[in-house]
Each structure stands twice: as structure tokens, then as C-alpha cells.
Amino acid sequence: MAGSPNRIGLFLIGDDPDSTKRWGVIAASLFVVTFAVSVFGYYRTVYALIPGRVIVYGAAGILVLLSAWQASQNRSLVASLLLCIAPVTALFIRIIGEGQTSDPPVGETLLLGVGWGLLFGVPLGVLGFILGYAGQRYIDSEIPP
């Protein structure tokens, strides 16, 4: 029983807590950048050049790969989830706030944005974590001791 919480803690936080903090800062930066791009309208230039479906699938793929890279280095489920949830939440907060016909309450907009961010971000983060963790385990098993 005493070893169980440590294993769960290592699984959630990863091998290096400082690395998990750095990945958390990267996730927060992704939130800020995504929110700023959507608020200031820079996305319109990108949408004029590239079809929307390609942007959405490409961004999701990049988030999964970033999450997988983190999982292969540090094996932190929390960091993998944050890397995907943060930018998706920022995008949904802006989409929900912009899509309202009247002045939406801030709390309601944030709650809906976080909910939709979790709904779409968690599967991406879990997929990235599984890919990165499994890939690292495979590479470790191929290297002779």
C-alpha cells in the first residue's frame, strides 16, 4: 500500500517534476498565444490561405505529437493533458464569446469554454501520452541491457 501512491504520483507528474513545470509553462504559453491569435483576428489570414479542415486536423496532430514527445521524455500524464487542453480551451472560450448574440456572462463563457476544451482536449492528450509512452517503452525494450 505504501508504494501505490508513489507509482500514481510518478505516473501523473512524471519522472522529473521540474520538467513537468516547464511543460506546464509551455502549455500556458500555448493558451496565451492561441487566445491572442483568435482575439486579434490573425487567424483570418491563415484561413484565407489554408482550408479550415486542414488547420483543425493539423493543429490537433501537432498537439498530439507535442504531447507524445513530452510523454516520451518525462512520462507525465498531467503535462500531456495540459498541452492539449490549454490551447483548445483558449480557442473555445473565444468561439463561445464571439458566437453569442448578446453580451454573454463571463462566468458562463469561461465555463462553456473549459467544458468544450476538456471534451476535445482530453482525448488528444491521452492519445499523445499513449503514443509517447508506448514508443519510449518500445525503444527501451529494443536496447540491450
| pLDDT per residue as tens, the chain (145 positions) | 444 557 666 667 777 888 889 999 999 999 999 999 888 887 788 788 888 888 889 999 999 999 999 999 888 999 999 999 999 999 998 888 777 656 768 888 888 889 999 999 999 999 999 999 999 888 888 777 6
Spatial separation of the C-alpha atoms in residues 91 and 58, rounded to whole Å: 15
Cα gap 71→109, rounded to integer Å: 31
Report the C-alpha gap between 95 and 13 in whole angstroms.
31
Burial 48-82 (b: 16+ CB within 10 A, else e): eeeeeeeeeeeebeebbebbbbbbbbbbbbbbbbb
